[in-house]
């Protein structure tokens, strides 16, 4: 053991020697010497390389020597140098090299998936892991890297080490890489050719990079996290970074044989995007989440839940891809594959291209990944044919094709959920579970059949769920969380927003927050007009005022001058901003006034784009995004990335899933709450060289409201307490005891419904049974009681779907009532709800408008400011509100005047029924979980078909619907907005 004097005990070499001693004594490394064991020109330990080849591949080496004689070693080095020149180091280690005549050499043996072949295990153990100190890597100077790790003589990592006791830290190590470790002409430091990853290390923190670019080198955090924030936890008797070089009770050493070779063999990935290449080396929380999930699955088998709460911008697509590719190769203790298929599901109707490309790019064998971009028939075929990895949307499971699948209960499925939210407790999620567990029943007893239906809703022993989200809701926590010591559900793995911000991986978007208060003075043409009373009417008045040119002009002036003064100089003049508006009309008006202001001021360095969906009638002109911008919608992200454009005005679009690191400022003129606030403002959090701050100007929300929206998701999201599942019986009792529901009718309905495939005659009989309750409902003149019952039914259906997935209920009556209530809810007549009033200039005038700065400073959260989510306790049962009692006459008259149609009050009520008919569980989930521009087309098509069906006996109305595009679009847009509101309230 090396001893040190008092004088040098604080020197860097002491920490360096401690690391090497831990690697050699605890993890089986061989210490090597530089320069005697290091070839500077090749950046190899050739002696260890040849030792490995001779010992593990004796026959191949003999053929090599027979063929090449004294040139054997030099020929191997030539081929290896050529391979490293043409391919990244990790690929060369995976694939090996080949020489004439058909001599194949493996350069590394990875841990086999099973132990069925002892020879593979022996070869894996024969890998030589070595460490070399003070590696003089250059022939041009005497610069030395503190540590280099080799696998079979091939360098895989370099380390620059700093000792905190000398007054230096990890940032000094990063600086050393940037200033003194130029990769030019240095094989060890050359991107792809040399070491895979470079670590900056002190006793407390670790940062890494896969590409040295001198002063532009970007380091990423590689820390475990400390008390919910940045850093690493204390380790008794050791440094906080001991997890790198020593096995700890809760963490296997990163540079242990098992973990290091796993990283090289199954994680590292070269990502190509156009002409740009990025070598992906997982950050700690990414590979830790994957490895811990797999280890838990191996220990407990299928049928488990894993909630992975990883901050926005943390590389979720890569973590999902690694999980999917590795879970299908996981074997149990009996050396049998644990999962037959991994199914990646998303709420988004248009599959996330990045997610698809990432997962597809990780595939090392053709045909492993099946992307279901077609119909649900394709999904059915993929499941039945046993595809290894399937990527699909959740909605495809709720179709007739999937309803015919059976016989899958003998297979195990790993269901990986991208952005797990409330839709995972809805009907589409249930359809997915049914398809993966359905089997024929042998009992003819109706009670057994009902209980079989109910059991299929609950936890399934053949399905493990891996649910990924940055912002889990209460439903998500209860559905997928693991019960902690406090008795409440918790994430299985956490990388918090707080940790990501503190270690600089994402930016704190609340650091520079400014709010403005708008003051309006409006004059009504008619005093005491009842149409201006009530909450909804007030919202309409506010909308009228917010669209007034005076209001928009003042906001545009504030935005443009703020951008020029504070934002435009950021990122060397490449900074960009987004204006978030409340509607398509707002977006287009903003864009128009923005252009007018820029032109009037002569700001030639500013140019704006606008993003909205569909056609928009405005000022007697039909506008589209393509018409406004002058190029196709699909071109916008690429065009906005250029130096030509600085500001993007949006309505709904690009508020989620838009990755533009140059965004530095956001101007919000829309009410934001809860998840929407977090997801919208998160567009700013991406880091980029030179970007260390962001700006938000908010015209609609207060700092306190935004902090309230962020606080549940800042650290580990938690529930105040578990939801009382017994509430399902409270709801059941209220429905069963209502004057509309007869228990005998429910039983009669169930006897026929649960017999299996239903004929047309069966369906007519079932509907006849349910209509007995509908008739009683229609005879009731108490509108408040009827509305309360409607909402009670919706609450029961929604809560039962959730409860039945969380726990095995074993209560046939609840399942019967659920089936009956589903039919009853659809057959109840729609309530009469007045439509929105259109406010015009002859009704109101804006006599004064003033915009005043209200708040300025930081809205950032600090440790401990996280709030808990409430359990599920709210069930809608509210009677009519004041504005819902209002007459429909104003909006109907306005609609008819604009379009020359003759819609009546009764006609509008029929449109209400169209909406109610198409808003089944699947459509409700789609509308709730997708941006308007994504889901509108699906709603529009269903609404059109519903209109045609509704008016098939009404020639006049059918002709209007079929021929008057404007009238049809107006009605569709109106009821789509109502459907959005109802879906969010459901």
Could you report the per-residue pLDDT of 891-916, keeping only the tens digit for each?
Answer: 455 455 544 555 554 455 567 667 77
Measured in degrees and rounded to the nearest 5, phi and psi for residue 875 equal -130, 125
pTM for the predicted model, two decimal places: 0.81
pLDDT value at position 212?
96
pLDDT value at position 884?
32
pLDDT value at position 605?
92
Band (486; pLDDT cuts 50, 70, 90): confident
Q: What is the mean pLDDT of residues 551-559?
A: 93
Distance, CA of 15 to CA of 528 (rounded, Å)? 81
5 by DSSP, 3-state: which? coil
pLDDT value at position 859?
93
Adjacent-strand bridge partners of 308: 468, 493
Conformational region of residue 864, where left means phi above 0, alpha means psi within -120 to 50, and beta covers everything else: left
Q: What is the mean pLDDT of residues 334-342?
A: 89
Does residue 421 surpass a pLDDT of 60? no
pLDDT value at position 837?
55
One DSSP character per residue, 433-478 reads HHHHH--------HHHHHHHHHHHHS--TTEEEEEEESS--HHHHH
Band (355; pLDDT cuts 50, 70, 90): low
Distance, CA of 660 to CA of 638 (rounded, Å)? 10
Does residue 52 surpass a pLDDT of 90? yes
pLDDT digits (tens, 9 = 90+) for 820-860: 999 999 899 876 544 455 666 656 566 677 888 899 999 99
Cβ 160 vs Cβ 140: under 8 Å: no
Band (576; pLDDT cuts 50, 70, 90): very high
Band (221; pLDDT cuts 50, 70, 90): very high
* Cα distances (angstroms) measured from residue 816 to each of 212, 810, 812: 65, 12, 6
**Least confident piece of the model among 102-106, 523-527, 877-881, 906-910:** 877-881
Look over the chain and give the mean of its residue pLDDT values, rounded to a whole number: 84
Is the pLDDT higher at 875 or at 975?
975
Does residue 317 surpass a pLDDT of 70? yes
> Most distant CA pair in the chain: distance in Å?
106
Cβ 219 vs Cβ 208: under 8 Å: yes
Cβ 235 vs Cβ 199: under 8 Å: no
Q: Would strands 844-857 and 695-698 be described as parallel, antiparallel, or unpaired?
A: unpaired
> Which of 207, 208, 216, 151 is closest to 183 using CA atoms?
216
Domain ranges of the chain: 12-224+233-266, 282-495, 513-713, 887-986
Q: How far apart are the first and last CA of the chain?
A: 69
Distance, CA of 232 to CA of 202 (rounded, Å)? 11
pLDDT value at position 842?
57
In the CATH hierarchy, which top-level class contains the domain 513-713?
alpha beta
Band (928; pLDDT cuts 50, 70, 90): confident
**Least confident piece of the model among 113-117, 249-253, 255-259:** 113-117
pLDDT value at position 551?
87
pLDDT value at position 380?
84
Is the pLDDT higher at 145 or at 756?
145
pLDDT value at position 659?
81
> Which of 643, 575, 636 is closest to 609 using CA atoms?
636
pLDDT value at position 723?
87
**421-430, 519-528, 620-629, range with greatest mean pLDDT:** 620-629
pLDDT value at position 3?
44
Band (889; pLDDT cuts 50, 70, 90): very low
Q: What is the mean pLDDT of residues 305-311?
A: 93
pLDDT digits (tens, 9 = 90+) for 253-305: 999 999 999 999 999 989 887 778 999 999 999 999 999 999 999 999 999 99
Q: What is the mean pLDDT of residues 63-74?
A: 94
Structure tokens at 163: 């000792």
Q: What is the mean pLDDT of residues 735-761?
A: 88
Does residue 748 surpass a pLDDT of 90? yes
Does residue 462 surpass a pLDDT of 80? yes
Conformational region of residue 5, where left means phi above 0, alpha means psi within -120 to 50, and beta covers everything else: beta
Is the pLDDT higher at 400 or at 571?
571
pLDDT value at position 350?
46
Q: What is the mean pLDDT of residues 634-658?
A: 89
Band (756; pLDDT cuts 50, 70, 90): low
pLDDT value at position 403?
66
- What's the CATH architecture for 282-495? 3-Layer(aba) Sandwich (3.40)
Does residue 359 surpass a pLDDT of 80? no
Band (2; pLDDT cuts 50, 70, 90): very low
Does residue 378 surpass a pLDDT of 50? yes
Is the pLDDT higher at 872 or at 95?
95
State the CB neighbour count (10 A cutoff) for residue 686. Answer: 19
Band (878; pLDDT cuts 50, 70, 90): very low
């Amino acid at each position: 053991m090396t001893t040190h004097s008092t004088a040098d005990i604080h020197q860097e070499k002491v920490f360096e020697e401690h690391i090497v001693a831990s690697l050699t004594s605890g993890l089986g490394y061989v210490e090597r010497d530089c320069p005697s064991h290091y070839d500077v020109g090749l950046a190899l330990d050739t002696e260890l390389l040849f030792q490995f080849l001779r010992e593990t591949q004796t026959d191949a080496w003999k053929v090599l020597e027979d063929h090449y004689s004294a040139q054997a070693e030099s020929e191997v080095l030539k081929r290896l140098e050529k391979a490293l020149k043409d391919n990244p180091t990790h690929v060369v280690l995976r694939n090996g090299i080949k020489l004439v005549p058909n001599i194949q050499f493996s350069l590394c043996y990875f841990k086999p998936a099973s132990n069925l072949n002892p020879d593979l295990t022996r070869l894996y153990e024969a890998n030589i892991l070595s460490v070399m100190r003070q590696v003089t890597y250059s022939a041009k100077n005497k610069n030395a890297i503190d540590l280099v790790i080799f696998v079979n003589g091939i360098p895989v990592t370099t380390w620059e080490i700093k000792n905190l006791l000398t007054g230096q830290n990890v940032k000094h190590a990063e600086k050393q890489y940037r200033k003194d470790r130029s990769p030019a002409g240095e094989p060890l430091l050359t991107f792809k050719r040399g070491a895979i990853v470079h670590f900056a290390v002190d006793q407390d923190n670790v940062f890494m990079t896969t590409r040295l670019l001198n002063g532009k080198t970007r380091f990423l955090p590689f820390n475990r996290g400390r008390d919910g924030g940045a850093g690493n936890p204390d380790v008794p008797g050791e440094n906080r970074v001991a997890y790198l070089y020593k096995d700890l009770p809760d963490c296997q050493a990163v540079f242990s044989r098992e973990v290091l070779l796993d990283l090289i063999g199954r994680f590292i990935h070269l990502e190509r995007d156009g002409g740009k290449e990025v070598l992906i080396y997982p950050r700690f929380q990414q590979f830790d989440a994957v490895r811990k999930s797999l280890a838990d699955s191996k220990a407990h088998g299928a049928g488990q839940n894993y909630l992975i709460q990883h901050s926005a911008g943390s590389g979720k697509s890569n973590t999902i891809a690694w999980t999917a590719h590795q879970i299908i190769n996981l074997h149990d203790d009996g050396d049998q594959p644990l999962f037959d298929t991994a199914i990646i599901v998303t709420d988004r109707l248009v599959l996330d291209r990045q997610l698809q490309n990432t997962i597809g790019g990780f595939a090392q064998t053709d045909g492993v990944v099946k992307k279901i971009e077609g119909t649900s028939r394709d999904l059915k075929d993929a499941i039945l044919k046993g595809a290894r990895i399937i990527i699909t949307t959740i909605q495809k499971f709720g179709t007739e094709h999937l309803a015919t699948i059976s016989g899958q209960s003998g297979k195990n499925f790993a269901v990986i959920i991208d952005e797990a939210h409330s839709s995972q407790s809805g009907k589409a999620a249930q359809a997915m579970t049914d398809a993966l567990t359905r089997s024929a029943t042998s009992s003819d007893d109706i009670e057994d059949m009902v209980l079989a239906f109910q059991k299929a809703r609950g936890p399934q022993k053949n399905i493990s769920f891996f649910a990924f989200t940055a912002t889990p809701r209460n439903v998500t926590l209860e559905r997928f969380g693991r019960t902690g010591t406090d008795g409440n559900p918790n994430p299985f793995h956490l990388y918090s927003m707080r940790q990501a911000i503190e270690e600089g991986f994402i930016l704190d978007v609340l650091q520079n927050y400014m709010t403005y208060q708008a003051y309006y003075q409006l004059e009504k043409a008619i005093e005491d007009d009842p149409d201006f009373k009530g909450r909804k009417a007030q919202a309409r008045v506010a909308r009228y005022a917010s669209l007034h040119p005076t209001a928009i002009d003042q906001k545009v002036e504030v935005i443009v001058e703020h951008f020029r003064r504070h934002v435009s100089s950021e990122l060397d003049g490449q900074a960009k901003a987004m204006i978030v508006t409340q509607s398509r009309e707002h977006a287009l008006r903003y864009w128009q006034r923005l252009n007018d202001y820029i032109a009037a001021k002569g700001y030639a360095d500013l140019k704006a784009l606008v993003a909205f969906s569909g056609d928009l009638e405005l000022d007697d002109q039909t506008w589209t995004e393509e018409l406004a911008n002058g190029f196709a919608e699909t071109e916008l992200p690429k065009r906005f990335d250029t130096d030509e454009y600085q500001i993007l005005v949006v309505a709904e679009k690009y508020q989620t899933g838009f990755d533009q690191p140059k965004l530095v400022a956001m101007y919000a003129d829309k009410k934001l709450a809860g998840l929407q606030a977090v997801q919208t403002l998160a567009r700013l959090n991406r880091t980029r060289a030179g970007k260390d701050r962001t700006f938000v100007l908010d015209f609609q929300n207060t700092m306190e409201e935004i902090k309230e929206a962020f606080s549940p998701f800042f650290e580990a999201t938690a529930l105040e307490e578990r939801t009382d599942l017994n509430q399902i019986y409270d709801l059941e009792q209220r429905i069963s005891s209502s004057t509309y529901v007869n228990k005998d009718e429910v039983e009669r309905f169930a006897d026929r419904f649960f017999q299996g495939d239903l004929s047309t005659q069966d369906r007519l009989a079932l509907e006849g049974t349910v209509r007995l309750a509908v008739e009683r409902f229609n005879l009731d003149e108490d509108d408040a009681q009827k509305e309360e019952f409607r909402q009670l039914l919706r609450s029961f259906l929604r809560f039962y779907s959730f409860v039945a997935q969380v726990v095995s209920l074993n209560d046939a009556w609840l399942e019967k009532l659920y089936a009956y209530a589903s039919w009853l809810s659809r057959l109840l007549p729609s309530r009469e709800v007045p439509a929105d009033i259109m406010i015009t200039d002859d009704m109101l005038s804006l006599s004064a408008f003033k915009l005043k700065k209200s708040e300025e400073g930081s809205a950032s959260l600090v440790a401990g400011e996280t709030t808990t989510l409430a359990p599920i306790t709210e069930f809608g049962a509210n009677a009519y509100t004041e504005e819902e009692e209002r007459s429909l006459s104003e909006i109907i008259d306005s609609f008819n005047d604009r379009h020359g149609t003759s819609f009546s009050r009764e006609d509008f009520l029929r449109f209400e029924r169209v909406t109610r008919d198409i808003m089944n569980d699947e459509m409700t989930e789609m509308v709730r979980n997708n941006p308007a521009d994504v889901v509108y087309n699906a709603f529009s098509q269903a609404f059109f078909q519903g209109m045609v069906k509704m008016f098939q006996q009404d020639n006049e109305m059918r002709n209007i619907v079929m021929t008057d595009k404007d009238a049809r679009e107006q009605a569709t847009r109106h009821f789509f907005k109502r459907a959005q509101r109802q879906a969010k309230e459901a």
